[in-house]
């Protein structure tokens, strides 16, 4: 029996898996008092007991970041979960389970998309989530990139603007996330993303100009990823993108082009093959 754990800034979800089937999913608000690992352990135990399942031996954890390493073990440093410090995660889980794998949630989603979704058979690719935040997972030459602290892919924190009003939760001013993430849209334009996109599609010129500006920022990030890593394809997911993909996808595809043709010609921009379920399958991909 495998436990699949999805840790976000607002909630933790735990499911049990046998094969590719996920069952007995339960969620709770994310603990923000330093007790995240204890919460995850308790939720796994409660889910297993509720299911009447045998002992859990493998745990896959898809988690928001950034991460820090302490003694070679992953700790979470996300400011909305552990302001001013880090929270141990890997060490407490390894004390209980024989196999534990923890990855950034966008990296885990990338692996799910490569296994079951839109990026199957593609060795040079990325997964990008446009949601409450901006997350990215990267794969070059068939190898998923991780970096010194397993933080490779935090392209949402690329600095792209001098706009002093665009403050990111990480402390950056003018990074991609501070400009176009779902939380940033609500803060900057006093509209939740669905309302803004609805107004744009109904002919509101100001809303349409705002959406075009959002596509400019994210499209440039996608272009930069494609030309820096010589990618074949990028899969897009996340709630902001997914619910408006018919409106957003052609605009983002336009902005992906340009520059040296050898780098951008033929780069595919695709909706995530797993849709809004990609988060559920992300943790499973780590132990599949």
Distance, in Å, from the CA atom of 27 to the CA atom of 46, rounded to the nearest integer, reads 11
Sheet holding 11-18, edge to edge: 21-29, 11-18, 2-7, 58-63, 99-104
164 is written with which tokens?
Answer: 């002093």
Which pLDDT band holds residue 288 (cuts at 50, 70, 90)?
A: confident
Residue 153 has pLDDT above 80, yes or no: yes
Residue 260 predicted with pLDDT over 80 = yes
| 211-222 per-position pLDDT tens digit | 999 999 999 999
Mean pLDDT computed over every residue of the chain: 94
Distance in angstroms (rounded) separating the CA atoms of residues 13 and 11:
7
* pLDDT tens sequence across 58-89: 999 999 999 999 999 999 998 888 877 899 99
Q: For CATH 3.30.420.40, list the domain ranges present in the chain.
A: 2-104+279-287, 118-272
Backbone angles phi, psi at 128, to 5 degrees: -125, 130
Q: No. of H helices and E strands in the chain?
A: 11, 13
The enclosing H or E element of 144 equals strand 143-144
CA gyration radius for the chain?
Answer: 19
What is the pTM assigned to this prediction? 0.94
Q: CA 128, CA 213: separation in Å to the nearest integer?
A: 18
Task: Say how far apart CA 114 and CA 83 lie, in whole Å.
Answer: 33
Provide mean pLDDT across the span 36-44. Answer: 97
As a whole number of angstroms, the distance between CA 114 and CA 104 comes to 15
- State the average pLDDT over residues 141-151: 96
d(Cα 47, Cα 89) in Å, to the nearest integer? Answer: 19
Give domain 2-104+279-287's CATH number out of 2.60.40.1180, 3.30.420.40, 3.40.50.300, 3.20.20.70: 3.30.420.40
Residue 256 and residue 223 in contact, taking contact as beta carbons nearer than 8 Å: yes
Q: What does the DSSP 8-state code read for residue 191?
A: S
Res 280: pLDDT: 82
Residue 112, both tokens: 């799910």
Task: Give the pLDDT score at 89.
Answer: 97
User: How far, in Å, CA of 23 to CA of 51, rounded?
Assistant: 9
User: pLDDT, tens digit, for every residue of 4-34?
Assistant: 999 998 999 999 998 788 899 999 999 998 9
Q: Which helix (H) or strand (E) holds 61?
A: strand 58-63
What CATH class does 118-272 carry? alpha beta
């Amino acid at each position: 029996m495998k436990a699949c754990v999805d840790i976000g800034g607002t909630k933790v979800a735990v499911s049990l898996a046998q094969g590719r089937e996920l069952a007995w999913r339960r969620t709770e608000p994310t603990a923000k008092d330093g007790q995240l690992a204890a919460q995850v352990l308790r939720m796994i135990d409660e889910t297993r007991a509720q299911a009447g399942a045998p002992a859990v031996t493998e745990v896959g954890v898809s988690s928001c970041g950034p991460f820090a390493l302490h003694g070679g073990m992953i700790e979470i440093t996300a400011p909305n979960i552990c302001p001013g410090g880090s929270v141990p995660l890997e060490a407490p889980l390894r004390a209980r389970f024989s196999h534990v794998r923890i990855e950034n949630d966008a990296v885990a989603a990338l692996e799910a998309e490569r296994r079951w979704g839109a990026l199957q058979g593609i060795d040079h690719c990325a997964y990008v989530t446009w949601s409450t935040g901006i997350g990215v997972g990267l794969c070059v030459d068939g190898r998923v990139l991780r970096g010194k602290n397993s933080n490779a892919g935090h392209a949402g924190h690329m600095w792209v603007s001098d706009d002093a009003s665009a403050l990111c939760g990480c402390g950056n001013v003018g990074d991609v996330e501070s400009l176009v993430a779902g939380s940033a849209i609500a803060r900057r334009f006093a509209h939740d993303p669905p309302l803004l996109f609805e107004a744009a599609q109904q002919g509101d010129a100001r809303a349409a100009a705002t959406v075009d500006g959002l596509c400019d920022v994210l499209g440039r990030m996608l272009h930069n990823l494609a030309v820096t890593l010589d990618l074949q394809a990028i899969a897009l997911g996340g709630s902001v993108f997914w619910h408006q993909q018919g409106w957003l996808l052609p605009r983002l595809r336009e902005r992906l082009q340009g520059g040296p043709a050898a780098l951008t010609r033929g780069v595919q921009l695709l909706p995530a093959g797993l849709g809004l379920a990609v988060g559920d399958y992300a943790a499973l991909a780590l132990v599949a």
